[in-house]
């Protein structure tokens, strides 16, 4: 089984809300998830757009889960780099 970290869409038309989830790569976008890591709400205020469990995200990345391009961008905003795979101190505390 090849795991990917990607976004699962919720919300209504023109009001998207996404959950950051770990899924089997063959599953559909809104299909069954293995684990939910957090959420991404692009319409909300800047400080409230992204929230996820960084420790579990790094754990899944170390186990070989591949992030989608958008999830990789979200992780980069929170200083989780794919080359280091460490949880930054400011993210771990908050």
Domain range summary for the chain, segments of one domain joined by +: 3-93
Looking at residue 35, its pLDDT comes to 94
With 90 as the cut, is the pLDDT of residue 37 above it? yes
Q: How confident is the model at residue 46 (pLDDT cuts 50, 70, 90)?
A: confident
What's domain 3-93's architecture?
2-Layer Sandwich (3.30)
Strands laid side by side in the 50-52 sheet: 50-52, 35-40, 15-24, 3-12, 66-67
Looking at residue 9, its pLDDT comes to 92
Q: pTM here?
A: 0.83
Question: Rounded mean pLDDT of the chain?
Answer: 86
Residue-wise burial string across 17-26, b where 16 or more C-beta atoms lie within 10 A, e elsewhere: bbbbbbbeee
Looking at residue 84, its pLDDT comes to 67
Rounded mean pLDDT, 72-78: 90
Question: What is the C-alpha to C-alpha distance for residues 36 and 12, in angstroms, rounded to an integer?
Answer: 20
Question: What is the C-alpha to C-alpha distance for residues 79 and 94, in angstroms, rounded to an integer?
Answer: 13
Question: What is the C-alpha to C-alpha distance for residues 66 and 86, in angstroms, rounded to an integer?
Answer: 16
**90 — phi, psi (to 5°)?**
-70, -30
Rounded mean pLDDT, 36-54: 91
């Amino acid at each position: 089984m090849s795991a990917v970290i990607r976004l699962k869409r919720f919300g209504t038309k023109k009001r998207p809300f996404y959950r950051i989830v770990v899924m089997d790569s063959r599953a559909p976008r809104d299909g069954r998830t293995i684990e939910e890591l957090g959420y991404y709400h692009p319409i909300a205020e800047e400080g409230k757009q992204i929230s996820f469990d960084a420790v579990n995200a790094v754990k899944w990345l170390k186990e070989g889960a591949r992030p989608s391009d958008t999830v990789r961008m979200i992780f980069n905003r929170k200083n989780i780099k794919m080359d280091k795979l460490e949880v930054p101190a400011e993210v771990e505390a908050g």
